[in-house]
Structure 1
Amino acid sequence: MAAMQIPPETFLIDRKSVLPLQVQLRRQIVLAVHERRLQPGERMPSSRALATHLGVGRITVTQAYGDLVATDYLSARGRSGYFVSDRVEDLADDPAPAPPLARFDWAARLDGRNLAARRKDRPTDWRSYPFPFLYGQTDDRLIDLAAWRECAVRALGRRDFGALSHDQYDGDDPELVDFIIRHLLPRRGIKARPEEVLLTMGAQNALWLICAILLGRGETLAMEEPGYPGLHEILATLRANLVPVPIDQDGLPPEAVPEGVSVVFTSPSHQCPTNRTMPRARREALLGMAAARGFVVIEDDYEFEISFSGATSPALKAMDRSGAVIYIGSFSKSVFPGLRLGYIVADPAFVAEARALRGMMLRHPPGHVQRTMAYFLSLGHYDRQLKRMREAYAERRQVTAAALDRHGLDKGTPVGRGGSSFWLRVPTGLDSDVLARTLKPQGVLIEPGRPFFRGGEAGAAFYRLAYSSIAAQEIDEGIARIARTCRTLAAD
């Protein structure tokens, strides 16, 4: 008897799914085999017929079939086509259910501090909103995808295969470290040796490593208020002592740092979230105080690459003569957020400690990502992409400022040196959380201010409006909706 022909209509493709078409097809076939809807010996649709039915390229079907042959779900019989393999093991009937047991009491083993620290105000489906004024994401049109693909393919060549395939234990890609030392750090005035650099999985991972090492024995950290929410999350899980230091027009005032702190966190280039820049005299004062009192300074060189008005001030690390500064850099904003690659520059003794801790947790960032990034830097793609981003952000900043003025909204502190966002005050009497919730059904995303403050309530009067992930032509309408909503809420 001839083998039964499976009709192409058996299979469907979801065009809205994030899964590649080939993966969708493979999963459908595997599931159908396990559920016994496809039986051993049955003939699959021809690749041409199935491709025509699904509206995909024939190579998509052919590759899916080839992968399933390799895993013994299908078998190829010369010119006869593809068949459900008779080597697929029969699935045994489900056994009778065992008598129920009491569920393990995980609530008694977990204190929930990690979940409590996690931010819940950043939707993962932000791309579906027409007006995403959301910080930390980027416009895909600004990313040089072709250049990144070229570098990734180059990194997969035989010359580099050892750097990708071998467990480097706690080591880093020497080519990437060398480029950071010779080309990136000098732009910030920093001189470093390889033993002073550690690669991390982004700035958040760098901060966690630093805090886990420095704040594990009841030490106190002083940080800017408002300040970086990611650090609030880390400190909540470590249960470290935190002293918020209110900023002024020039960022963190050193004279306000209290006695007895062991660590001070600051983002002097573009303060998070206000974009204020710490002047040189204040930087020197902070470094002098660190040397005299013996506290560590964590410098998050936040968005230093996104500067619109010439050279930025030198990094604190460049001015540091005592070695008290731990410098954090990241490629998340300058390349793309999903890259999750950053670096620490610090005294060799601290880097050795951080390297050991990182090694216990994740060994090192993936070798392929490191080597691809090394090529992206060395071939000039990084600088070209930065130039494109700076030009786009400068335009969007001007458009945003003009729209805020036109629609009668607060424009925040006039800081025009760079960055990718505005820090704004809501109209008197409004709550930024309520404003954000009301705007969301209208397709507008903003960041309420509470996560940037230790106590939270002070943040009700503020919100952050970012322009990195929204096209310039959409900004005015988005801000018009914010202004109308503010007026409606104020009238209620």
Structure 2
Amino acid sequence: MPIPAEAFFLDRNTGIPLQAQLRRQIIAGVLEGRFRAGEKLPSSRHLATHLGVARVTVAQAFAELVATDYLTSRDRSGHFISDRIEPLPPTPDPSAAGPRFDWSARIDGRFRATERTDRIAGWRGYRYPFVYGQADAALVDHTAWRDCAVRALGRREFIPLTSDLYGEDDPELIDYIARQILPRRGIRAGADRILLTLGAQNGLWLAAQVLLGPGRAAAIEDPCYPGLRQILAPTGARVTAVPVDADGLDPDRLPPGLAAVFTTASHQSPTGTAMPEPRRRALLDRALRDGFAVIEDDYEFEMSFAGSPSPALKARDDAGAVIHVGSFSKTVFPGLRLGYIVADREVIREARALRALVLRHPPGVLQRTLAYYLSLGHYDAQMARMRVAYARRRAAMTEAMTAHGLIPAAETDRGGSSFWMRLPEGVVSARLAADLRAQDVLIEPGEPFFAHPPDGAGFCRLAYSSIPVERIPEGIARIARALKA
């Protein structure tokens, strides 16, 4: 019995490659018993026409399934379901299995309670996505990254990369970070003061777990990176949100009795302002005097296309009170999920032991691939492309916003990838964001950035990292029309 072409469909909004979707549907059909041994598939030409894809897409999917024994190919007859794959046994019906175990009585939901609901997973499906933290794939040198991955998987590298590093990190990547990345921020640190993380979020989590717990106190900026509050909530620590001003966090407003202060001194999140030198000195002096640690989230420093960035707070840290958190997510690409922390040796030892309890170390192949990407100059070339592209987009954003009378809430000239906007009186950002989604425009409402969400109702963030420069004017025009409405 032939399998009809109508048994297959492709979803172009998922982000999953079309060829992969087709392969998965055939495999699922075989394993679930819907497609049986000997049944014939539609011809590649017929199926390609039905799905609206190139014939080579279907042909390649068929070829890979033949190689893995899901299909067999018969000369001049076509492709058939193989008899070498056994279907899965039927899944039992949970409702017929008697009483169910009561997990609700054993899980308190403290982690689920921190989940963010303001993220739009299908942002690529919008024509005007002013969303932060997503990359433009066109700026990433795919060929270079693939070449580095092939090098990392070469025979010479294979044995060390397949070994369990027992909590250690790739020495080549650590060496490059120590010799090339950190000096750009004014930081000097040996390998024993650097620990790799799965991005900045993981670095902040490690710092919070090492320093905080019930009975301890921490201070954060207000507004701040929403994920930080998610990280701190399950620790049980008392968290004070300290309002920022045009110069960022004011050390004089910190309460007494703190164990840790979290700050984005070089590029405040989300306003983009930079903490001036006098405040940096005051913060470090108070950290030493009061005995609290400073956790510095140093994101986006590479995106300074309007002059050299100021040195990191860690660069001024003679006493060793600062834990510096860095990431490659905003510079290489977000899906990489690799970052690092730089801190005193005692902190690194404790954080390494904690990390080993959870994941030992980030995947060795990924570490070595990134090491090649950095050392062969691809990273610096990508940074140069991104600075040029972001500068053009920022200029286009500025011109369009000026034309429509939109003024950023914070004046910044150091670059970055977003604007922090104050909305007209009476406009609620969450409602505005919902209205704009219906017009194919995505913005980030301000409420999630504040400890007291209603305080952010009059703000929003407009990012330009993931929107092509030619779409910016129309996107801003739609925002302006929505504000007038």
Instruction: State if a TM-score over 0.5 links the two structures.
Output: yes
CA distance in 1 between partners of 2:341 and 2:318 (Å): 17
Q: Which residue of 1 aligns with 2:182?
A: 185
Are 1:243 and 2:240 matched, yes or no? yes
Counterpart of 2:459 (choices 457, 462, 470) is 462
Q: Aligned AA for 1:225? A: D
Q: State the Cα distance separating 1:217 from its structure 2 match.
A: 3.6
CA distance, structure 2, for counterparts of residue 93 and residue 134 of structure 1 = 43
Read off the aligned partner of 1:425 and give its amino acid letter: R
Alignment equivalent of 2:10, drawn from 10, 14, 19: 14
Are 1:126 and 2:123 an aligned pair?
yes
Give the counterpart of 1:347 among 329, 344, 348: 344
Work out the CA distance in 2 between the residues paired with 1:126 and 1:451: 18
| Residue 414 (structure 2) aligns with | 417
Can you list the C-alpha shifts for 1:322-347, whole angstroms capped at 9, x where unaligned? 11100000001111111111000001
Q: Unaligned 5+ residue runs, structure 1?
A: none
Q: 1:107 to 1:319 in 2, by over 3 A?
A: same
SS of the equivalent of 2:457 reads helix
Give per-residue Cα distances to partners, 1:458-480, cap 9 Å, x unaligned: 11111111111111221121111
| In structure 2, distance between residues paired with 1:455 and 1:62 | 56
Task: Determine the structure 2 residue equivalent to 1:435.
Answer: 432
Tell me the alpha carbon deviations over residues 1-57 of structure 1, each in whole angstroms, 9 at most, x when there is no partner. xxx7x4674764526264445544444444444455544455667878877987432
Please give the alpha-carbon distance, in whole angstroms, between the structure 2 residues aligned to 1:463 and 1:98: 46
Larger radius of gyration: 1
For 1:230, the aligned partner's letter is: G
Give the Cα–Cα distance (whole angstroms) in 2 for the partners of residues 91 and 202 of structure 1: 38
Aligned-partner Cα distance in 2 for 1:79–1:444:
50
CA distance in 2, matches of 1:487, 1:94: 55
Structure 2 match to 1:194: 191
| CA shift for structure 1 position 108 | 1.9
TM-score by length of 1: 0.90
Tell me which residue corresponds to 2:167: 170
2:270 to 266, 270, 273: 273
Deviates more, 1:421-430 or 1:410-419: 410-419
Aligned to 2:363: 366
8 Å CA contact 1:134, 1:446 repeated in 2: yes
1:115 corresponds in structure 2 to 112
SS of equivalent residue, structure 1 residue 218? coil
Letter in 2 for 1:319: R
* Structure 2 Cα separation of the partners of residues 51 and 40 of structure 1: 23
Structure 1 residue ranges (4+ consecutive) displaced by more than 6 angstroms after TM superposition: 43-54, 76-82, 90-98
**Retained in 2: the 8 A contact 1:8–1:53?**
no
Work out whether residues 209 and 357 of structure 1, in 8 Å CA contact, stay in contact via their aligned partners in 2: yes
**Cα separation, 2, equivalents of 1:96 and 1:139:** 44
- Superposed counterparts of 1:217-366, under 5 Å: 217-366=214-363
Unaligned runs of 5+ in 2: none
2:295 aligned counterpart, secondary structure: strand
**Paired position in structure 1 for 2:374:** 377
Query: 1:46 touches 1:82 (CA, 8 Å); kept in 2?
Result: yes
Q: 184-193 or 243-252: which moved more?
A: 243-252
In structure 2, relative to structure 1, the CA distance for the partners of 1:107 and 1:53 (3 Å cut) is closer
Report what 1:62 is aligned to. Answer: 63
Pairwise CA distance, 1:286: 1.0
Does the 8 A contact of 1:271 with 1:302 survive in 2?
no
- Determine the C-alpha separation between the residues in 2 that align with 1:361 and 1:62: 39
Deviations 1:183-233 (A, max 9, x none): 000111111111100000000011111101111242111111111111111
Q: TM-score, normalised by structure 2?
A: 0.91
* Correspondence for 1:144 among 129, 141, 144: 141
CA contact (8 A) 1:399 1:472 kept: yes
Identity over aligned pairs, percent: 56
Using the TM superposition, name which of 334-343 and 91-100 deviates more: 91-100
Alpha carbons of 1:378 and 1:105: their partners in 2 closer, same or farther (altered >3 Å)? same
Superposed CA offset, 1:58-78 (max 9, x none):
34322221112xxxx456789
SS of equivalent to 1:399: helix
- 1:43–1:81 CA contact under 8 A, matched in 2: yes
| Conservation of the 8 A alpha-carbon contact between 1:23 and 1:64 | no
Partner Cα distance (2:468, 2:162) in 1: 39
Cα distance in structure 1, aligned partners of 2:74 and 2:308: 67
1:113, 1:280 → 2: CA distance? 39
Cα distance per residue 1:339-377 (max 9 Å; x no partner): 111000001111111111111111111111111110110
- Please give the alpha-carbon distance, in whole angstroms, between the structure 2 residues aligned to 1:272 and 1:74: 52
CA distance in 2, matches of 1:61, 1:255: 66
Contact 2:173/2:368 (<8 A) preserved: yes
CA distance in 2, matches of 1:324, 1:380: 33
Taking the aligned partners of 1:61 and 1:26, their CA distance within structure 2 comes to: 8
In 2, distance between residues paired with 1:202 and 1:118? 18
Give me the CA root mean square deviation.
2.6
Q: 1:453 aligned to 2:450?
A: yes
Q: What residue identity is the alignment partner of 2:335?
A: G
- 1:65 is aligned with what amino acid? V
How far, CA to CA, are the matches of 1:328 and 1:307 in structure 2?
18
